[in-house]
Structure 1
Amino acid sequence: MKKVKITVLKREFKADLAAEYGCDGLGPCGRLKDGQVFYAGIDCPPGLCNTAWKCMHQYIFALQNGVESFFFDNWCRQPRTAIACCNDGFRPVYFKLETTDEDIPNPEKK
């Protein structure tokens, strides 16, 4: 299995939805920053939001296991790449997921 590079592409804020439904003081995601990079092995990388991890884990797992493309080759033009988003309706964060050439260490081998 290969590590996957996770890059924060951009954070958005849906002010119209937040004004109608959100709590006071709500703004863009304050936990992540545009351009921030994480590397995924088996578990959620330290510092990455667990909710975002749950939203993209299925794509990460597929990339780690050799998938070259998704949805009949009509999603991303770059092979071994996916674009994902967390499911926060007020503060979505977009991620680029890329398979690396680095293997994930096998914890069973010592």
Structure 2
Amino acid sequence: MVGFNWSKFNLIFNEMNFMDHILLIYYGGIFLSLKCKITVLKKNLDEELAQEYCQNEVTTCPVFREGQEFITGFEKPEGFCDWAWNDIYKFVAVLLAGGNFSKDIFEGWMKDDKTMITCCTDAIRPVIFKIEKLMVEN
């Protein structure tokens, strides 16, 4: 292939984890990776449920802060709550695999193909996330 930089490809390829290898794209002389940006939109607290069912005083989720962002492939980002990752991973995987939440069976749900709004399953103090598909230069 004329103009293809194999040495740069090998360097990038060797630094990526196994699952991200399938997402490496060569376009216009640069290498791009398909990633997702996860943004913490909102932290909620249902005080009524917390008072009725929790043993101790409960505050909003201590792991995340509103506006916090993570860029990731198929791997859980460093510092990300294990429970929340388990809850939202399926949406990350769908977007990275080329799926969407605005067409087909999801017609009329999200406004665009590259975004999903979801949350963790902590019913007392759920965290709302925006997941966006991105192309990132390596």
TM-score range, shorter chain: 0.7 to 0.9
Gaps of 5+ in 1: 106-110
**Divergent runs of 4+, >3 A:** none
> Residues 44-74 of structure 1, C-alpha deviation per residue, up to 9 Å, x if partnerless?
0001101111111111001011113354322
RMSD: 1.5
Structure 2 distance, partners of 1:100, 1:23, is: 42
> Residues 5-44 of structure 1, C-alpha deviation per residue, up to 9 Å, x if partnerless?
0000000000000000012121100110000000121210
How far is the alpha carbon of 1:75 from its aligned partner? 1.3
Gaps of 5+ in 2: 1-22, 24-33
Structure 2 residue 78 is matched with structure 1 residue 46: yes
Rg bigger for which structure? 2
1:10 aligned to 42, 47, 57, which one? 42
Structure 2 distance, partners of 1:94, 1:74, is: 20
Q: Percent identity?
A: 35
Structure 1 distance, partners of 2:55, 2:76, is: 28
Structure 1 distance, partners of 2:48, 2:101, is: 35
Q: Which has the higher contact order (CA 8 A, sep 6+)?
A: 1
Structure 2 residue 56 is matched with structure 1 residue 24: yes
Structure 2 residue 70 is matched with structure 1 residue 35: no
Equivalences, count: 104
Structure 2 distance, partners of 1:38, 1:58, is: 16
Name the aligned partner's letter for residue 95 of structure 1.
Answer: F
